[in-house]
Amino acid sequence: MLSHEKNALLTQCGPAAPMGRFMRSFWIPAMTAAQVPSADEPPVRLTLLSERLVVFRDTQGRVGVMEENCPHRGASLFFGRNEEGGLRCVYHGWKFDVEGNCLEMPAEPATSRMCQNVKTRAYPARIAGALLWIYMGDAQTVPDLPAFGFIGQPDDHLYASRWHQECNYAQAMEGELDSAHVSFLHQELNKTNPDPQALTGKYFQEDTAPLWKILPNGAGFMACNGRSVDGDKRYWRLNQFLLPFFTMIPPRPGDAQLVRMWVPMTDERSWVICVSWRPDGPLNEKELTAWRNGENSHRKVVPGTTLPVERLDNDYLIDRQEQKTVSFTGIKGIRAQDAMVTETAGPIADRSREHLGSSDVAVVAMRRALMEGATQCADSGQPHPAAANAWLYSVRAVQAVLPGDQSLEAADEFLAPARATPPSPTSTH
């Protein structure tokens, strides 16, 4: 359990909160590249880390991200005119470029120098890996983007989606690191997937209490969970947790890689962003169709929105008859099942009332890494070292069946893709 004070440290992400300042030292994934407006199109709203922002592209195609309220008298720039290299407030015509500089104040005398002294808050923004990334920290120390494997891949190797979840980022992310729940929450009744490594396969039914090992690294840790299978073997899944809110779960052999991101919208709501990608070739139409329909790694949303179809206010469309005869929950979709158990704990779970067991080892490790990181940064006044070392993010989640008596730490070939390799001294990265 956590005290109320530590729970507040973990969950509060506004500009003045220690966790909020900590997160702002990292690049923040904000939306998919497809959701960014085209040049001179109207801006779109974005709430991120409890800040209300607008996103637009200027005439040259540069992306601007700035606070929503005009610094004049607070009118919303969402209703502004995106024209000729800047976003113009419709109240008095003040106009701002993508860096937040005020370009024009037509309601002021021509001799006024006020325009040169006014600037609105704007953040550096980049599009990479099918996502829009925003840096909300000190503009003098902007780090490199994290070196995820999907960044730099061709467009046809990637699929990105975004939806929102009605709870704090931390409890949404906890479900991703809790592999023990797979034996229950996602299971089908009287049916087993012929692939033993599928989430509905026999490996998750043979051993419902996996052995846990946490292997730390410079940006987080590997959450290693091993299940006894086939008599004398152990099925290991190595999930990745990377500061401040990135996770990876291992794909089945032949499936696409994925990275999921659990980004605070406010303290009580979160964005979930998922990128599926293949390093060896284009995605195939079958998997693209499945993801667009909200299957497997992605969530089904109301078209044109980030609103999930199965959600808290409609009881996730639970079918009680199916719960008796088809699936453990009666809720369709793995992502919807995960959302149900995290959202129904409340917008911010009261962790002072929980009772943790051995299956919660990775959840505890995640909370500790985040709180220690936030405290370290608050005490030092410096960004977390992981933010400045992009190469730490060049890892993958992996899985394998190993002999039951083999030490996990000694399985070098298995662990190699899950470990980041420092750049050589001559590297320009």
Return d(Cα 397, Cα 44) in angstroms, integer: 34
Partnered with residue 163 across adjacent β-strands are: 272
Return d(Cα 413, Cα 419) in angstroms, integer: 11
Q: Are residues 101 and 159 in the same domain?
A: no
pLDDT at 428 over 70: no
Return d(Cα 240, Cα 174) in angstroms, integer: 12
In a domain? residue 87: yes
What average pLDDT does this structure show over 184-188?
92
pLDDT at 191 over 90: no
Q: Are residues 131 and 234 in the same domain?
A: no
Report helix, strand or coil for 262: strand
Q: How far apart are the first and last CA of the chain?
A: 41
In a domain? residue 384: yes
Taking only the tens place, the pLDDT of each residue in 94-148 is 999 999 999 999 999 999 999 999 999 999 999 999 999 999 998 788 999 999 9
Q: Are residues 80 and 197 in the same domain?
A: no
Q: Are residues 101 and 220 in the same domain?
A: no
pLDDT reported for residue 137: 94
In a domain? residue 2: no
The CATH number linked to 107 is 2.102.10.10
Q: Are residues 254 and 374 in the same domain?
A: yes
pLDDT at 6 over 70: yes
In a domain? residue 12: no
Number of other CB atoms surrounding residue 413 within 10 Å = 7
Q: Are residues 134 and 229 in the same domain?
A: no
In a domain? residue 10: no
The residues, ordered by sequence, that sit 6+ positions from 382 with a Cβ below 8 Å of its Cβ are none
Taking only the tens place, the pLDDT of each residue in 199-245 is 888 999 889 999 999 999 999 999 999 999 998 999 999 999 999 99
Q: What is the mean pLDDT of the chain?
A: 94
Taking only the tens place, the pLDDT of each residue in 305-362 is 999 999 999 999 999 999 999 999 999 999 999 999 999 999 999 999 999 999 999 9
Q: Are residues 226 and 328 in the same domain?
A: yes
Which residue segment(s) compose the domain that 69 sits in? 27-141
Confidence of residue 193 (pLDDT cuts 50, 70, 90): confident
The CATH number linked to 185 is 3.90.380.10
120: nearest Cα among 155, 80, 158: 80
Q: Are residues 159 and 111 in the same domain?
A: no
Q: Are residues 178 and 324 in the same domain?
A: yes
pLDDT at 425 over 80: no
Confidence of residue 412 (pLDDT cuts 50, 70, 90): confident
Could you tell me the pTM of the whole model?
0.94
User: How many domains in the chain?
Assistant: 2
Q: Output the six-digit token pair for 160.
A: 């990105």
Taking only the tens place, the pLDDT of each residue in 284-296 is 999 999 999 888 8
pLDDT reported for residue 426: 60
Residue 43 · residue 55 · CB < 8 Å = yes
Secondary structure of 334-394 in the HEC alphabet?
Answer: HHHHHHHHHHCCCCCCCHHHCCCCHHHHHHHHHHHHHHHHHHHHHHHCCCCHHHHCHHHHC
What average pLDDT does this structure show over 34-44?
97
State the pairing for strand pair 220-229/233-242. antiparallel
Q: Are residues 189 and 66 in the same domain?
A: no
Q: Are residues 273 and 348 in the same domain?
A: yes
Q: 111, 141, 171: which is the final residue of a domain?
A: 141
pLDDT reported for residue 427: 54
Q: Are residues 172 and 120 in the same domain?
A: no
